[in-house]
Every structure is written in structure tokens, then in C-alpha cells.
């Protein structure tokens, strides 16, 4: 029986699937920068996976639930909604190898009470 990929391997696979993706928003190209963890400085178009839970499936195998956070640009809904719409399509396609269970808008905490708009993708591997 083949071993399931470790949490570290899965994290790397998620980063590899997202890093360098290009999204076109209002005629301008933007490149996603994926990191294994939340970067110290979160900028628009950065993304990272967060392990949420493990669920035993058999004696030796577990499914892992992940959240992928993507930082959106813009201080106003007109900007981050347009970016979010395009990013949803691109990121969803990149995550197609895994079970995508939910996509939702979020506020990502980036400092002392500061937050920026983002998207949260829930996947199971």
C-alpha cells in the first residue's frame, strides 16, 4: 500500500500549483506569488495554504483539510470584487486535482487590528 503524502509534501504541492499563475484584471496581468506560510508582509496576489484538520479515513490514511488564502488588491469593493472574480476562476482551475469544497470572501489579518480583503478556498486532499 502506498503511503499518503505527508502534510509537508501536500503543502508543497499546493504552493507549486499556485505559484506563478497569471490572472488578467482590467487588461493588466498579475502574477500570484505562493508561499508555504503567510508571509510577514502580505501584499495583493500573495497566497498560502493553511492546514486546518486531519480526518482518519482508514487505519493508516488520513484526509487533510486545507484552506488556501489569496490576498486581494484594493481598499474598495469595486477593486477587490473585480480581482476576486478573476482570481476565483484561475485558482479553482489550479486546485482541480483536489476536492474543492468552498470558496468565500474573507478579511485576512495582517497586523495589529489591520485586515485586507481576500479569498479563502477550502480543499481536501
Contact predicate 55/65, CB 8 Å: yes
Please tell me the pTM assigned to this model: 0.89
51-89 pLDDT, tens digit each? 999 888 777 778 889 999 999 998 777 777 888 989 999
C-alpha cell at 36: 508555504
Q: Distance between CA 75 and CA 14 in Å, rounded?
A: 28
**pLDDT (0 to 100) of residue 4:** 60
Residue 20 pLDDT greater than 80, yes or no: yes
Range of 27-36, 58-67, 81-90, 106-115 with top mean pLDDT: 27-36
The mean per-residue pLDDT over the stretch 95-99 comes to 94
Count CB neighbours of 98 within 10 A: 18
**pLDDT (0 to 100) of residue 104:** 95
Reported CATH class of domain 7-124 = alpha beta
Delimit the domains of the chain by residue range. 7-124
**pLDDT (0 to 100) of residue 55:** 82
Angle between helix 77-94 and 7-18 (nearest 10): 120
The single-letter DSSP state of residue 36 is S
Contact predicate 53/86, CB 8 Å: no
**Average model confidence (pLDDT) for the chain?**
90
Amino acid at each position: 500500500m502506498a503511503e499518503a503524502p505527508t502534510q509537508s509534501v501536500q503543502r508543497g504541492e499546493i504552493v507549486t500549483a499556485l505559484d506563478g499563475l497569471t490572472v488578467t484584471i482590467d487588461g493588466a496581468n498579475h502574477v500570484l506569488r505562493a508561499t508555504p506560510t503567510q508571509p510577514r508582509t502580505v501584499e495583493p496576489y500573495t497566497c498560502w495554504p493553511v492546514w486546518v484538520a486531519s480526518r482518519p479515513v482508514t487505519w493508516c490514511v488520513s484526509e487533510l483539510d486545507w484552506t488556501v488564502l489569496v490576498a486581494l488588491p484594493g481598499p474598495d469593493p469595486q477593486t477587490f470584487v473585480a480581482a476576486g472574480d478573476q482570481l476565483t476562476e484561475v485558482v479553482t482551475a489550479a486546485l482541480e486535482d483536489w476536492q474543492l469544497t468552498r470558496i468565500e470572501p474573507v478579511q485576512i489579518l495582517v497586523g495589529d487590528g489591520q485586515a485586507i480583503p481576500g479569498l479563502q478556498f477550502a480543499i481536501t486532499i
